[in-house]
């Protein structure tokens, strides 16, 4: 267990279901083995299936690194306002969907939100 700069413990969750018990838990979508944070979203805002989450990660990864062995989704305790370490500027817990600026520039936000809400199956 790592400690953060304020001396409190780092807390990660094995599953989305476990993370849902923490009101400050987020899902972090990353590629390039942490070299780029694609998205950070409160787990309370995830209504899609596991397969849809996995497909969303794969779709985002195709825009950047396109390496299935280097992408993942993980869950951790991150109160609003805290950063997520990672390359290309990292990410941030905002209380809503945080999307990497590269994806914002591609205007992917509505489709990403649609997948997370369970309203669409894929990003495209």
* Position 6 in a domain: no
* Position 68 in a domain: yes
* Position 122 in a domain: no
**For the chain, how many structural domains are there in total?**
1
C-beta separation of 19 from 43 below 8 A = yes
Going from the first residue of the chain to its last (124 residues), give the mean pLDDT of each consecutive group of 10, the final group possibly shorter: 54 98 98 97 98 98 96 98 95 98 98 98 91
Distance CA 46, CA 67 (A): 24
Cβ burial, residue 29 (10 Å; 0-12/13-18/19+)? buried
* Position 123 in a domain: no
9 phi, psi to nearest 5 deg? -75, 150
Q: Which domain holds residue 44?
A: 12-116
pLDDT at 46: 99
pTM score:
0.92
């Amino acid at each position: 267990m790592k400690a953060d700069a304020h001396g409190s413990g780092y807390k990660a969750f094995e599953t989305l279901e476990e993370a849902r018990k923490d009101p400050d838990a987020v899902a972090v979508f990353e590629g390039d083995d942490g070299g780029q944070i694609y998205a950070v979203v409160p787990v309370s805002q995830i209504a899609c299936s596991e397969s849809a989450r996995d497909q969303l990660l794969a779709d985002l990864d195709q825009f950047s690194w396109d390496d299935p062995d280097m992408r993942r989704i993980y869950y951790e305790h991150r109160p609003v306002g805290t950063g997520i370490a990672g390359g290309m500027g990292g990410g941030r817990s905002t209380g809503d969907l945080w999307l990497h600026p590269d994806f914002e520039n591609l205007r992917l936000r509505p489709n990403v939100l649609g997948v997370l809400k369970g309203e669409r199956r894929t990003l495209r």
